[in-house]
Each structure stands twice: as structure tokens, then as C-alpha cells.
Structure 1
Amino acid sequence: MPDENVEAGNRREAAVETIQREMTVFARRARASAGRLHPELSLVSYTLLGHLEEQDACRATDLAAHYALDKSTVSRQVTALERAGLIARRTAPDDHRVQVLHLTEAGTAILAKVTERRRDVFHHRLHDWPEADLLRFAEYVQRYNRAAEGE
């Protein structure tokens, strides 16, 4: 029995190492492909625009907290997106001291364009996967991301 437990522990450790390595490769490829899909829109910018679309609007501090980013990093990104005409600041209706970020028409359009390109890439990469594998993979990625939310 002890040998079986050790062997199971070794298999589990090897699996975790493989997942860590492959997730790192995935992240690197995601950053690199973001630049190719739309050179003016970094992966961080794409992510921030997507969050603004999902939330309809939010404060820069909300973005920083949600993505666990430094406020200065978000501030630079927000300034660049604002200069590019992709987002606009508006005063919050309930508190005039608060600036809320909104997507502009140009921001919505570019986000839709990049999202469609990204979706096409995923469809291409996964086109020959059996449906059961796709469903299982989607479930595992969601499960992993839910587990990471509390960190």
C-alpha cells in the first residue's frame, strides 16, 4: 500500500508540474497572439475593455482590485485607452467626486473585432476536438479560474 500512495503522489506532482508548465506556455502565447491580432490593443488593454463591457462601467480602482494590478499600471492603461478614444471618463451620477470609465463606440467596435478574431483562433485550434473533450476542458478551466478568484 505505501508504494501505491507514493506512486499516486508522484503522478499527482508530475501532473501539477505539467499543468503549471503548460499554463505558462498558454499565457506566453496569449500575450504574443494579442499583439498579432490587433497591434494597438495589448492583452491587458483587451482584458480591461472586456471588463468594462461586462460591467457596463466601473472605476479604475475597481479594475485594479479585480485584476490585482497596481493602481499606477491601471492608470497608465486607462490613460492610453482614453487617448486612443476607446474609453471615456464620466462623473458618477451618485457621487460627483468619482470618475467612472465607459467604453466609447470606438472601444466597443474594436473590442468586438478583436473578440471575433480571438474566437476564430480558438475555433481553429479546437475544431477537431470531440464535443465531450471541449465540454470537459471548458469545465476544468472554469473550475480552475473559480479556485483562483479568492487569491
Structure 2
Amino acid sequence: MTARRADTLGDLEHEVGVLIRRVRRVIGLRARAVHPDLMPSSYLMLAYVAEQGPLRASEIAEQFDIDKGAVSRQVAHLTELGLLARVADPEDGRALLVSVSEEGRTRLTDVARHRRKWLDERLGDWSEAELTGFVETLGRYNRALDG
């Protein structure tokens, strides 16, 4: 590895660190925008269930690498807030699936709409090509680190 590449990789680590701190802050803001009592970790779970659901709690536990008890507590909390619903698994009547309630979906959609408007304002001077290129590069970066 050349010294220049090492410096560039150090710059990358720095910028990713800034991104992570920003994402953590933004997730907290989004969680409170969905519901004032929603915790950031529960927001991430809610968003995942909205994208992938309905799911069994065991699938959520595996995806988030947390124990089933923690998932059960978060699902109970999200259900109490009216953001998730539990439904019988049509393939196994003994099991329950977790899905986003209509209220949860509406709130997530509203937050996403506001977030995209905010991003559009902040990135208004980026061309479509620059934005598309950044998305493609970030996707490539994420895929490389998953492998």
C-alpha cells in the first residue's frame, strides 16, 4: 500500500465516522418524528419491518443480532404505540408475524417524505449525475464491506 492510498483510506475512515455520527443523530430525530416515545433502536426495527415484513420475531432477532427477549420487548413497545401489529402466520397458526400497522406506515411515510424534501434542499446544487454516481459508489462501498 502506498502512503497516498493509506492517507486516502484514513480520510475515508474519518468521513465515514462523520457520517455515522450524523446518522445516529438523525435516527433519533426520525424516531421522535414518528412518535415522541419511540427509541432510535425501535425506529430502525420499525423501518426494517416496514421494508421486509411481515416477519417472525426470530427473523428480526437474527437480522439485528440481538436476543429474542430484546426483540419481544421492542415489538411489545411498538405495538403499544400503535406502530406494529401482530398477526397469525398463515403458514403456521401457532406462530405470530409482526407487521407495520396502518398508523405506523403512515407515520413512516410522512417522515420519509420530509426527509427527502430536506435532502433535496441540502443537495440542490448536486446534478442528477452527481447524485446518482454518489449513490452507486456508496452502494459499491457497502457491498464491498459486506463480502
| Fold similarity call, TM over 0.5 | yes
Match of 1:123 in 2: 120
1:12 pairs, out of 5, 17, 26, with: 5
Cα displacement (A) at 1:69: 3.7
- CA deviation profile, 1:117-139 (whole Å, cap 9, x unmatched): 22122212211113322111100
Matched, 1:105 2:102: yes
31-40 or 20-29: bigger deviation: 31-40
Structure 1 gaps, min length 5: 1-5
Matched, 1:24 2:17: yes
Cα displacement (A) at 1:87: 0.3
Question: SS in structure 2 opposite 1:101?
Answer: strand
Match of 2:137 in 1: 140
Instruction: Measure the CA separation in 1 of the matches of 2:71 and 2:137.
Output: 29
CA RMSD of aligned residues (A): 2.1
1:84 pairs, out of 57, 81, 84, with: 81
Structure 2 gaps, min length 5: none
**Partners of 2:84 and 2:101 within 8 A in 1:** yes
Question: SS in structure 2 opposite 1:57?
Answer: coil
Q: What is the TM-score with the length of structure 1 in the denominator? A: 0.80
Letter in 1 for 2:85: A
Instruction: Measure the CA separation in 2 of the matches of 1:122 and 1:12.
Output: 31
Cα displacement (A) at 1:144: 2.0
Percent identity over the alignment is 37
**Partners of 2:31 and 2:40 within 8 A in 1:** no
**Partners of 1:60 and 1:74 within 8 A in 2:** yes
Q: What is the TM-score with the length of structure 2 in the denominator? A: 0.82
- CA deviation profile, 1:33-91 (whole Å, cap 9, x unmatched): 23334523444333322222222311122122223344444333222211101001112
Question: SS in structure 2 opposite 1:108?
Answer: helix
Letter in 1 for 2:27: A
